[in-house]
């Protein structure tokens, strides 16, 4: 069962950590990006913040993989992949690699303590703006691709008998 925490509990815990780790982003800014207010355990605020960031990075990486690694049996990935050129897919692959670098770094940092998690938060916060900007461009193009998909599947006129 999920533990219920309040906004104020999370904000207080984060602000306490901010006094210890001066380079942490401001609470409202990071909360706006990664919804850290959803954390369950304010006593582990840096680890919880790291987990919230990893949740978003993992989702982004999964979205990108469907584009450059489309599977012929998967209409979802085929539709999304068809919206991009080979060169664009190579650029998306590089972005995917960056997300996975941070995901693995977060896993390594999870083996450490609060300090390692705080450093992860500080470093990913710096890396996030360009990643977010490029990811948003990709997802806007994906959204347009879905809008173009016909609502009625084409009729197969191949010989069936």
Q: What is the DSSP string of the chain?
A: -PPP--HHHHHHHHHHHHHHSTTSPPHHHHHHHH-GGG-S-GGGHHHHHHHHHHHHHHHHHHHHHHHHS--TT-HHHHHHHTTS-HHHHHHHHHHHHHHHHHHHHHHHHHTS-HHHHHHHHHHHHHHHHHHHHHHHHHHHHHHHHHHHS-SSPPPP-S---
**pTM for this structure?**
0.88
Express each pLDDT in 66-122 by its tens digit. Answer: 999 888 888 888 888 999 999 999 999 999 999 999 999 999 999 999 999 999 999
Express each pLDDT in 113-132 by its tens digit. Answer: 999 999 999 999 999 999 99
Domain locations along the chain: 7-144
Q: What is the pLDDT of residue 148?
A: 84
Q: What is the pLDDT of residue 70?
A: 85
């Amino acid at each position: 069962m999920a533990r219920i925490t309040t906004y104020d509990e999370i904000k207080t815990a984060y602000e306490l950590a901010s006094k210890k780790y001066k380079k942490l982003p401001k609470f409202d800014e990071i909360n706006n990006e990664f919804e850290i207010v959803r954390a369950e355990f304010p006593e582990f605020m840096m680890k919880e913040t790291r987990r919230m960031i990893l949740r978003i990075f993992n989702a982004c990486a999964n979205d990108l993989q469907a584009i450059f690694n489309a599977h012929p049996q998967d209409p979802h990935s085929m539709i999304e992949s068809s919206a991009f050129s080979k060169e664009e897919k190579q650029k998306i692959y590089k972005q995917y690699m960056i997300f996975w670098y941070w995901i693995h770094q977060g896993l390594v940092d999870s083996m450490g303590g609060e300090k390692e998690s705080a450093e992860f938060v500080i470093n990913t916060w710096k890396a996030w703006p360009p990643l977010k900007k490029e990811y948003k461009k990709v997802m806007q193009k994906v959204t347009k691709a879905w809008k173009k998909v016909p609502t009625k599947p084409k009729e197969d006129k191949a010989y069936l008998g």
